[in-house]
Structures are given as C-alpha cells and as structure tokens.
Structure 1
Amino acid sequence: MSRLQQWVTGKWLVPALSGILIVASFVLDKALGGAANPSLAPQWWFDAGVHATHSAESFLLSDLLMLAAAVVAGYDIVVKALRALVARMIGIDLLVSVAAIGAILIGNFWEAAAVTFLFAVGHALEAATLNKTRSALAELVAVAPDTAIVMRDGEQQEIPASQVRMGEIVLVKNGAKVPVDGQVVSGTGAIDEASITGESIPVEKSKSDPVFAGTISRGGFLQVLATGIGADTTLARIIHRVEEAQDAKARTQSFIDRFSTWYTPGVMVLALVAGLVSGNVVLALTLLVIGCPGALVISIPVAIVAGIGRAARNGILIKGGEFLETAAKISVVAVDKTGTLTEGRPQLTDVVVLHPSMGRADVLRWAAAAEAGSEHPLARPILDTAIAEGVGPDGIPGSVTPVPGKGIVSDTDGRRVLIGNPALLEQYGISDDAGAAEAARALAAAGKTPMIVAVDQQVIGVVAVADRLREDAKEMVARLYAAGIDKVVMLTGDTRLVAEAVGKATGIGEIHASLLPEDKLDAVAKLQREGHVVAMVGDGVNDAPALATANIGVAMGAAGSAVAVETADIALMGDNLLKLPEAIRLAKRTVGVMRQNIIIALATVVVLLVGVFAGGVTMSLGMLVHEGSVLIVILNAMRLLR
C-alpha cells in the first residue's frame, strides 16, 4: 500500500476534509464580503424557527460549507455515540454529538464545525501517539525472521521461517537472524540477544547452548537443531504476552472506567439544568463539550502501554497493568538463594573422610551411588565429579526416598545409604561418633553446602558443594534499597551458616534458612500480614507456592522457560539481577505518570468549568483546550519510552 493510500484510508482523512471545508468557508465568506445568497437555505429551516442567528436573506454559501465540515467530522462521532447507546453506554462521543447537533439547530455552524473538527483531530493524534507508545511491540514484531536456511536432502535451502520443521538443522551465518528456538549442534558464534533479554553484549554460543528466534548472529557459523518453531518460539510468546499485557487494565484504570460511566451522564444532567435555569442553550452545549472526560479516560491506558512497552524493550515482561501498579508498591523483596543470588551451577568442593577404613574415592563413590536416582540440583556436581574420577555409579540407580528438609535415603547394592544433614542421622538413629556435624558446620561457615554420608549405621564422611555468588548480587541489593524497598529477605532451604555467608556477601540482613517450600509460603504470608507488599524472586519450581502467594512473583532467566513467560507476574528474560530494581523503578515512574495525568485531566475540566460560568470560554475554545489536555497526557506518558 502506497503512502497516499495509507493516508486516504487512515484516520487523518476525515479531519483533513473537514479542515479544508472550514478554511474554504472562511475564504468564501471574506471574498463575498457577507453577500447574501438566500436560495441556498430551505424555507422550512426558518419557518420552524430553529435558525436563530441567521435570516433567510443572510444564509451564505460559507455557512453551508461550515455545516458540511461539521457533518463530515461529526458523522463518525454520531455513529459511535448511537452504537454505544444501543449497548447501553453513555460515552464522550454522545456529549460531543449532542453539543454539535444542538449548535447546528441554533444556527451556530462555526461552533459545530470547530467542535467536531477538533474532536476528530484529537482522535487521529491519539491513535498516532498511542501507536508510538506501542513501539516496543512493533520492534519485537520487526525482529521476527522472514527466512531460514535449512539442510534438506543434503543441500542448503532458503525457505520462509514459518516452514521450518521441528528437528530440522538450521544454518545461522554471520549477520543472519536466528529463525527458530533451538540448540547448537555444531559451530561457534556470537549472538546478539538484545531482542529477548535486553542485553546489548553478544553472547558466545557453542555446542549444546540454546539460541532463540529473532536474535542476530554477530560472527561465526552455527548449525542449530530446531526445537521451537512459529508460535512455539520464545519471541512469539513474548509478543503474545506484551500484547495481552498492554491491553490489560490496572485497578486505577478500572476505577476511572467506572467513574466515567457515572460522570458522563452527570455532565449531561448538569448541562440540562444549567440550560433550563439560565435559558441559555449555548451555555448548556458548551458545558457538554468542556465536560468531556477524554483526557481522564486515556490518562491511564496510555501510561500502561508505554511502561509495559519500555520494560519489554529492556527484557522485562510485566503481565499487565494491575501488576505494574502493584510492583510500584513493593516494600519487601524476598529472594531464593540457589539460582537467584548464586549462579545455580554448584560444584563439588570438599570430600571429608571420617571412617578409618575408607578413602576419598570410597566416600565419593557411595555419595554418587545414592544421588544417582535423585533429582536434587546438588546431585549433579557429585555425580559429575565421581564420573570424572572414575568412581561413578554403574547401571540403574537404586531406589531413592527423599526426606524433605533433611536429605535422601537410597538402597544401593543392598545397603542403605543416607546423604543429608544431622537431622537425617537423628531420624534414622545413627550416632555421630566421627564428628560429622562439626565438620559440616565448619564447611557451612565457609559458605558451602555440606552433606553427611552414612552407609548402613555408620558415618563415613562429608561432601560439600558450593555455588558461586553472582557478580551483580550485591549491587542488586543496593539498588533495591535505592529504589525505595524497605528490606530484602533471603528465603532458602540451605543451612543457616551457608545462608548467612551469602547474606553477608550481598548485604542481606534478614535470613530465613532451612526452609521447606511450605515454610517459604508461610514466610511470605507473614510479611504480608505485617502490611508489606511482597515480591518473591525464585526459579518457579521449589519456590512455586511462595511465588503464587506473593503479591508479585518474579521469574529469573525466563527466556528458556515457556511456563515462566506465561505464568510469572514479572519475567526477567535474562539472568541479569539488576533488571529487578530496574523493573521496580520503571513501575514507580509509570504510576507517577498515571497520577500526573489524572491531575492534568481533572484540573483542565475544573478550569474550563470556571471559565464557562465566568464567561469567555466558548464551545470551540473548550474543545481546543480539551484536546490539548489529551495530547499533554499522551506526551507525558511517552516520556516513559526514553
């Protein structure tokens, strides 16, 4: 479609035609010098007595052009008003329609044309600026790849990205967009993931690393196994989520909508009473125009669209206006330790031998055999180290019974193996003669997670695993406090000594350790009972109950998790902890803009009302100021995009 066609079919056609007719009316009126043209007016107009300000002898062609301008600009307004009435809704369009028709009936064509023209211009400008506030969504759509190069029948074939099949090998060359979600099977390269995570620094990718549709290769050559195509890609889910979020209403917006359903009829009643009491029809019609709550109605959604769009551009997905508004009120942030404050990639650091007849390899072998059937994240580093040292478990792992908050019990080679904390030994009646509890305490004090290993009824040693603290964890805590958060709380299932070591390193003062999933839920609920608005940051698995209970559930590193994108109130697409305080600051800014917009809208109506009763504010001037206030609130909201 050409630019001319877009303009002709766009929102600017009606106000442009109306404006041309208004200008032509003024030009013609000046050219004729007020000369009469009585043949242009139908006699019934004057016989009915509705043309109060003109006589048959002074009905000019310029008046007819002004009337045409009012009809051109007002037609859509009247149609919308009638449709709203059919749906039992009284809106702004009805106020403008009644005012314009009333102005025409009393012969005030200029006021009718001016009111409808300005209202049409306002609508066109609103649409244009609202599209601008949705620019982040447009940018996301724009990064969606159009084509893909796949290997078919042993040859490279360029096809539309929508035609890639699951399991195909896609080739990603330097400068090309990644067309699918997938896993690198061969090659190395640097991928710009800014469209997904908001991070501008390219990420190095090699075999087994994930890649996402819409990201761009900045160097290298990759062969990617397609695991997500079309609407199944992370980019598609983000676009869908942002579309829904920008259309979702905040509590304040819902209140404004309810307020408008009563306010608009109230304005009509006020105008009717004022007209009857004063006998001044023009006064009543002017009140209808200046009472339009247009700026008030648009003040909230435009801020929400801009705020959520800005967040999406930075790799922060906010589920909707309600959650954006709630995020601005957060007073406490509760964080999980593993995978949030730490990198979530623990490594085996210590193997302490406590049985005289065994060595390091024996303790490691039994620990690995017990953990072989466990899904606990700390099992992996023990197994990896055992395999690397040649003592990994063979065959199918034995039965494993998890003991929540204490450890696991495994049946391995006909022997019972326990791996966990001192409470697990106590539960199974195993005495700690070897000093395992003391060794575990020393390791925990160093920030490591210790696990006592016992075979049958004897303690044989302690293994310790440590997870490296994220580099930006301490700065995140500092920025949360700077953003106005009252306190940051750590909720972890790890031991108190380990948690305290991490808390000391990050600046977190309040620590709740050795928690089960339901204990985390209770901790969040307790904070809420104390009057706090709580945000819970976690991995969405062990922390699921607490995330659901918190006022705002925040998912970290959500780019690879479809569940997190769809269910989290706020999803941080990358692993950058600093995105959390950024999200809270943006929420506070957005709510601040919403409040400013409401004040601007209400102040405009009050000033105009005073002006009408004091004299000097006409219908056209009132509509001009009204549309000006609409643009001010939109432009104010657009500051959020910077």
Structure 2
Amino acid sequence: MKFTIKHESSHRMRIHMHAYRMTYEQADTLLYYLHQAKEISYVKVYERTGDVSIEYIGDRQNVIDLLQQFHYDEVDVPTGLIENSGRELNARYQEKLIGKVAFRYLGKWLLPYPIRACFITANAIKYIKNGVQTLWQRKIEVPVLDATAIGVSVLRNDLDTAGSIMFLLGIGELLEEWTHKKSVDDLAQSMSLNISHVWIMQDGKERLICTSDVKQGDQVVVHMGNVIPFDGLVCAGEAMVNQASLTGEAIAVRRVAGASVYAGTIVEEGELTICVKEIGGSSRFEKIVTMIEDSQKLQSQLESKAEHLADRLVPYSLGGTVLTYLLTGNVTKALSILMVDFSCALKLAMPISVLSAIRESCLYGITVKGGKYLEAVADADTIVFDKTGTLTKAQPKVVDVVSFDGREPDELLRIAACLEEHFPHSMAKAVVKSAIEKNLQHDEMHTKVEYLVAHGISTTINDVRVIIGSYHFIFEDEKCIIPEGKEALFESLPPEYSQLYLAIDGKLAAVICIEDPVRQEAQAVVNSLRKAGLSKIVMMTGDSERTASAIAKKVGVDEYYSEVLPEDKASFVEAEKAKGRKVIMIGDGINDSPALSAADAGIAISDGAEIAREIADITIGADNLYQIVTLKMLSDNLMKRIRKNYRSIVGFNTMLILLGVSGVIQPTTSAVLHNSSTLLIGLKSMQNLLD
C-alpha cells in the first residue's frame, strides 16, 4: 500500500494513505491490522483525511515494511469487529453536532429576520405539541416546562430567547442520544460471544473445530455449563437453558428436540445437540442492544432518584412562576423562574455520567452490565473470593502424574484429558494443555460424559466406569479405594500441590498434581481493597483445609472457608446480605455461578466458565486482579460525580432563580446561563473518571 510520511519524531509518525477516500470499513481494517503488530504501541486512523497516527517501539524500518505490506483485502478481520466498531456511529453524530451548530450561527448571521422568525416559530410548534400531549396524559413533567418557556417567549415576540432555548435543548438531546448509543453499543460488543472452538457431531463422534469452520446445518454439541454459540434447533438431547442474556429472566427453560435455542444462552443442566440455523453474529448483537436498552439494569438508584426528582420539581417551577407574577405583577420576573428548571440538567447529566463510566470501564478491560452494579461496588463492604483461578493464577500447570494401577503416567493423563476437555474449568484446562504439550492424541473413546458441579466428571470407557474429580467426590461420594500396597505412595503425595484424582472401576488409578500458585498481586490487591473501604474480605474454596489455610494466610484475607459446595457459597452471600451488608462475589467457575447470581455485584474472570461470565454482572480480565481495584475506584468516583452534579445543578439554578426574581438578570440571560450550564455539566460528565 502506498503512503506518505507527513510528520515524524522520535518513535512517532503521521502518515497519509494514498486513497481517494477511506471508508469506515477500510479504516477499521487498517486499525485492526496495525493493532496486531507487536511494534505498534498506539494507532489512530482518521477516515475523513486518510491519515494515521502511529507510536511504535523498536526499529522504524519494521513499521515501514509493515505498512508497505498492507492490503485491505488481505486482512482477515474477525466477524463482527467492523460491524460493531462504532466508527460510523461517531462520525454520524459528529456531523449532526457540527451541522446543528453551523446552522444555528450561520442562520443567525445570514438569514433575514422574517425567515428566521418563521423557522423559530415552526420549530417551537414541535415542543409545544409535546408539552400539550404530556398534559393530555395528566402529567406535569419536563416537556410541559419546555413548552411553556418556549411558548411564552414566542408570544412575547422574544424569538431570540425561544431560539436559544430550542438550540441548547437540541444540543443536549443530541449529546445524550450519542453517548447513550455509543455506551450501549460498547457494552453490547463486550457482551458479544467470544467462542473460538466448538464440538460438532460427525459420524457419531464429537470433534473439536474452529467456530469459523462451522456451516449452516452442522450439528453442534453443547455440554453443561457452556454457552450456545449459534441460533438453531435442538436435534437431540434435553437441557435446562438460561436465557437471561437475551430476556433478562434468570429462570432456566426446558429445551428438547425440535425446540429453538439462541446464541448466547447457557446450558445449565443436561446436554444438547443443535442443528445450526444462523451463523452470523449481528442478530445476537442486536438482541443484546435491545435487551440493554429495555432493561432497568442500566439505571443506578441515584440515577433513578435524580430522574424522579426532576419530574417532581416541574410543578414547583410552574407554581413559582405563577406565584411570582401574582405577587409582583411583573412578567419578566415570573419568566425568570420559567426559564430555569432543575429537570433538564438532572435528566441529562445523570445518565451520561453512568453510561460514560460504563464506557470507560471497557477501556480497562472491565465489562459492566449496568449502572446499578457500579453503585453496588461503590457501596460494598464485603467481598468474597473464589480461590482457584481467582486468587491463584488463571493458568494452573500439571507438574506430575502419579500412577496407582501400573499404567504409564502419559496414558493416564491421556484418559484424564479425554474427559476434562469437555468442561470449562481452570484445572481441566491445565490437564488438557499438559496432554497437548506431550502430543497425547486420542479419539473420543468414552460414552456420554456427565459433569457433577463442584465434584467431578464421570463416564464409561470399554464398559468400565471412569471418574475424575476431588477427594470428596472420589473417596467419600463414590467410595473408591486405594489399590492394595499403594497406601504409602498415597501418603507421600506432595502437599504443596492441588490434586485431581482419577479412578477406574472403583479403584484409584492416578493422582494428577497441579501447581496452582498464588497471583503475585493477590496480597497487594487485598490490602488495596481493604484501604478502599471493604471491611470484610473472605476466601471460599472447594480445596482441602490444608491448602485453603496456606493460601488464606499468604494473601491476608479476614476469613476463609474450605471444602465448600456451590450452595455453601451462595448461602454465605445471602446470609451476609441478610445482615445488611453489601456483597461482591468474584469467581470463575460453574460452581461459583449461584453465588455470583446472589451477590449485589457478581464479578467473573474473563477466561472462566461461560456460565459464570453470563450470570455475572461484571467481567474483568484474567491477567491482573488490580482491575478489581480499578473497578472500585471507578465506582467510587462515579458516585462522587453524581452527587457533585446534583449539588452543582441545584445550587447554580437556585442562584439563577433568585437573581431573576430580584430583577438582577433578564429572562434571556437566565435561559442562556441555565442551558449553557446544563450543556457544560453534560460535557463534563462525559470525561473519564480516572486520569
């Protein structure tokens, strides 16, 4: 691709791509291409001018070569990235904003007064009509106040004031609509599916393939705890499916052969084979957008109170206008109240603050499904951590396979991986990864795999029952025994590792030792959260007392509980809430889902089980627990901003009313100052909370 370097400094350059005009799709393709390069640390593409700003590390020539090799049609862009990028949305609203401002001031300077008067009067009819419709519905709300202010100004032939009011109201509406759409689209995009591989049924056997290779009509197998990746019809199996991601209802519904299922819903119990009907992701994205826009999840309690207060203040503003006129007989002083209202600013600033915070959280790799969850995090005084994959590293590692039945360790690892690859858990992933690294290939050699939450997995191989899971599952539930003469070997197992037990035909066959080290930042994160106001920090795990005790001491939690079941975690959360505490739960597994759902704010790790991510209210990245601290800071700052906005709006507008009633300023000045302050507060509410 041909380009010209327009400007260059140390490890920075601005280039111009040689093209007549860059389309939105081309701009997003180029942005994706450059983002994938390890040499590029920052890039921004300007589609209108065809320019690209680049910051890079390393050798300049590598960047030049990278740009020379670029061709739009040779870049394999992930499905949905261009469609949901938001570039076209931003450009459209920027043009609307510039057009509205240009029309306002050019019209004021260039149009003759009679034409301008006709236009303002015609535009005022829309607001007056809206106010009359609101009154017809027996409501006295903001549209009534706007209609009255504009209508009285027109009747008094004060068209400049009427035009100013309508212009600023239009700018405010446009900014609110733009921010809302952008924030909702960002949120919906982050909630979109991110499934790279799926199981398909071919010739009676399950085979793992890339999602991009799936075709319409393929039969996809979805195991318990996994997300359904495509819209389709159930052709085999029976399951309870959680459809909260589309409907908002958390109650699972039964799905059997012939029933329709939708991408993004979760198999809570059972297993389904689905005939794929729809492959594209746009329908899923649109469903999420609709669900978010219709849901009250976006609204925090403070935001809701502000909106209700805004509507409740309208009658007082109208009453104050009438009372001032009756007492003073001065229309100008009465209009000073009418030109100023609290509602407009309250209704604009609060939603923008919340939606901007949700957008900003996405910049830090945090997905928040609604404003009320940010408020819950800000108010929380208790946080409950799962251990595995949360306080410990998200990628545990197999360090040893101890054989108890005479088979080779690699053969036992191959059997274990054959079972574990069907289920999303960090321990299971460790087993599968170890088998792949040792090139232990296998065909599906077992019958139907059954997953028992927080216990383990069972199946049948060559008519022999094979199970893998926790000590409690293998020895207490299933009553398996240690082979004779192997007791000493069992007692000598290293205590510093987590252990998975594999039993075949009722006898222990292998113990898989897994290194699950504590995250380096875990102790610092716990201390930071305590300083941020969380007075009770708890760890809950299904691991043994010995392992739990060591981890709890290392990270510094206030309390810990070992060998707990999923219902124990959920019961603990409910008990804390019953005491009046606000609870955050953070986990990554299927067994954490009940507690995530029960908490005031449930936080899932991004590479954890799909069901945990879908049920959780917030998702953070797997790389660094400091994102929880960042989330807490964002939430606290958002609540401070909302309260500050409330005080500023009430204080400034009260001052304007007093100045107007006392005759210090004219209604026109009151209107301009009021609307200007509303616009400024709205713009300030769009700024990032963390610098």
Q: Which ranges in structure 2 are unaligned for 5 or more consecutive residues?
A: 1-22, 24-47, 49-90, 191-211, 217-228, 231-275
Aligned mates of 1:600, 1:337 — CA distance in 2: 44
User: For residue 614 of structure 1, what is the aligned residue in structure 2?
Assistant: 662
Q: Distance in 1 between matches of 2:688 and 2:544?
A: 43
Deviations 1:411-454 (A, max 9, x none): 7778888875378546649699979599669733x243364869
1:546 deviation in Å?
Answer: 0.7
- In structure 2, give the amino acid aligned to 1:84: T
Aligned twin of 1:124: 171
Match of 1:60? none
| Aligned-partner Cα distance in 2 for 1:624–1:535 | 44
1:496 is matched with: 545
Q: Which of these residues, 519, 531, 534, is aligned with residue 485 of structure 1?
A: 534
Q: Give 1:581 deviation, angstroms.
A: 2.0
The match for 2:391 is: 341
CA shift, 1:307, in A, is: 0.9
Counterpart among 347, 350, 364 of residue 300 in structure 1: 350
2:321 is aligned to 271
Q: Which amino acid aligns with 1:580?
A: I
Letter in 2 for 1:500: S
Closer, same or farther: CA 317–602 of 1 in aligned 2, 3 Å? same
The answer as to whether partners of 1:447 and 1:497 remain within 8 angstroms in 2 is: no
Is residue 325 of structure 1 aligned with residue 372 of structure 2?
no
Specify the code of the residue in structure 1 equivalent to 2:565: L
Question: Helix, strand or coil for the counterpart of 1:527?
Answer: helix
Which of residues 130, 134, 153 is equivalent to 1:80? 130
Deviations 1:89-140 (A, max 9, x none): 43334224323433554xx434x53244244234325524763686667889
Q: Look up the SS of the partner of 1:542 in the other structure.
A: helix
Residue 328 to residue 436, structure 1, CA distance change in 2 (3 Å): farther
1:253 CA drift (Å):
2.4
1:633: how far off?
1.6
1:632 maps onto 2:680 in alignment? yes
In structure 2, give the amino acid aligned to 1:298. L
Larger Cα-atom Rg = 1
Specify whether residues 491 and 434 from structure 1 end up closer, same or farther in structure 2 by C-alpha distance, changes over 3 A only: farther
Look up the match of 2:121. 71
Instruction: Indicate conservation of the 8 Å contact 1:363/1:453, yes or no.
Output: no
CA shift at 1:165, angstroms? 8.4
- Aligned residue-pair number: 518
SS of aligned partner of 1:554: strand
CA deviation profile, 1:285-307 (whole Å, cap 9, x unmatched): 32222235211221211101211
Alignment match of 2:584 (pick from 535, 556, 573)? 535
Distance 1:413 1:69 in 2: 84
Distance in 1 separating the partners of 2:118 and 2:360: 43
Alignment partners' CA distance in 2, 1:6 and 1:411: 64
Equivalent residue, structure 1, for 2:494: 443
Partner of 1:57: none
Compared CA separation, residues 423 and 331, structure 1 to 2 (3 A):
same
Q: Is the 8 A contact 1:315 1:574 kept in 2?
A: no
The DSSP-based 3-state class of the residue aligned with 1:526 is: helix
Gaps of 5+ in 1: 26-63, 144-163, 169-180, 183-225
Measured after TM superposition, the shift of residue 279 of structure 1 is: 2.8
Q: Aligned runs of 1:67-216 on 2, under 5 Å? A: 71=121, 74-105=124-155, 108-110=156-158, 113-124=160-171, 127-128=174-175, 131=178, 166-167=214-215
Question: Is 1:526–2:582 an aligned residue pair?
Answer: no
Q: Contact 1:370–1:409 (CA<8 Å) still a contact in 2? A: no
CA contact 1:440–1:452 (8 Å) conserved in 2? no
- Please name the residue that 1:313 is paired with: 363
Deviations 1:512-567 (A, max 9, x none): 11111101111212222333222212225111111110111122116995x66654
8 A contact 2:501–2:508 mirrored in 1: no
Q: Which residue number in structure 1 is paired with residue 629 of structure 2?
A: 581
Q: 1:465 aligns to what SS in structure 2?
A: strand
How far the C-alpha of 1:598 sits from its partner, in A, is 0.8
Deviation at 1:591, TM superposition (A): 1.7
- Structure 2 matches for 1:232-271, cutoff 5 A? 248-271=298-321
Change in Cα spacing, 1:505 to 1:272, as seen in structure 2 (3 Å) is same
Q: How does 1:396-545 map to 2 (within 5 A)?
A: 396-397=445-446, 420-421=470-471, 425=475, 428=479, 443-444=494-495, 446-449=496-499, 451=501, 463-545=512-594
How big is each residue's C-alpha offset from its partner over 1:559-605, in whole Å with a ceiling of 9 and x where there is no partner?
995x6665431123554433222222112211211111111111122
| Residue 387 (structure 1) shift | 9.8
Aligned-partner SS, 1:328: helix
CA distance 1:504–1:300, shift in 2 (3 Å)? same
- Contact 2:589–2:609, Cα closer than 8 Å, also in 1: no
Conservation of the 8 A alpha-carbon contact between 2:121 and 2:154: no
Amino acid at match of 2:540: L
What CA distance in whole angstroms lies between the structure 1 residues aligned with 2:297 and 2:112? 41
Q: Secondary structure at the match of 1:113?
A: helix
Deviation at 1:266, TM superposition (A): 2.4
1:525 & 1:537 partners in 2: Cα distance?
A: 15
- Does the 8 A contact of 1:540 with 1:547 survive in 2? no
* TM-score using structure 2 length: 0.61
Deviations 1:456-512 (A, max 9, x none): 5x8787553333444444444344334433343222111122223333443434221
Q: Which moved more, 1:494-503 or 1:361-370?
A: 361-370
Aligned AA for 1:494? D
Distance 1:369 1:272, change over 3 A: same
Are 1:302 and 1:634, in contact at CA under 8 Å, matched by a contact in 2?
A: yes
| C-alpha contact 1:410 1:416 (8 A) present in aligned 2 | yes
Per the TM alignment, residue 409 of structure 1 is displaced from its structure 2 partner at its CA by 7.8
Query: Which amino acid in structure 2 is aligned with residue 348 of structure 1?
Result: V
Question: Does the CA-based 8 Å contact 2:142-2:314 persist in structure 1?
Answer: yes
Distance in 2 of aligned mates of 1:351 and 1:441? 13
- 1:15 is displaced (CA, Å) by 3.8
Instruction: Look up the match of 2:205.
Output: none
- SS of residue matched to 2:399: strand
Asked if structure 2 preserves the Cα contact closer than 8 Å seen for 1:303 and 1:593, the reply is yes
With over 3 angstroms needed to count, the CA separation of the structure-2 counterparts of 1:518 and 1:78, relative to structure 1, is same
* Cα 1:245–1:582 shift into 2, 3 Å: farther
Instruction: Evaluate the alpha carbon distance shift between residue 97 and residue 450 of structure 1 in structure 2; reply closer, same or farther with a 3 A threshold.
Output: closer
SS at match of 2:645: helix
* Structure 2 CA distance for aligned equivalents of residues 275 and 128 of structure 1: 35
Residues 330/555 of structure 1: CA separation in 2 closer, same or farther (3 Å cut): same
Helix, strand or coil for the counterpart of 1:449?
Answer: strand
**RMSD across aligned C-alpha pairs, in angstroms?**
5.0
Of residues 251-260 and 370-379 in structure 1, the stretch that sits farther from structure 2 once superposed is 370-379
- Distance in 1, Cα, partners of 2:147 & 2:453: 68
Whether contact under 8 Å (2:413, 2:431) holds in the other structure is yes
Q: Which residue of 2 aligns with 1:291?
A: 341
What is the letter of the counterpart of residue 550 of structure 1?
A: A
The answer to whether the aligner puts 1:557 opposite 2:599 as a matched pair is no
Contact 1:166 1:228 in 2 (8 A): no
Percent identical among aligned pairs is 24
CA distance in 2, matches of 1:264, 1:135: 30
Encode CA deviations 1:121-169: one digit per residue, 9 max, x unaligned. Answer: 34325524763686667889999xxxxxxxxxxxxxxxxxxxx98559x
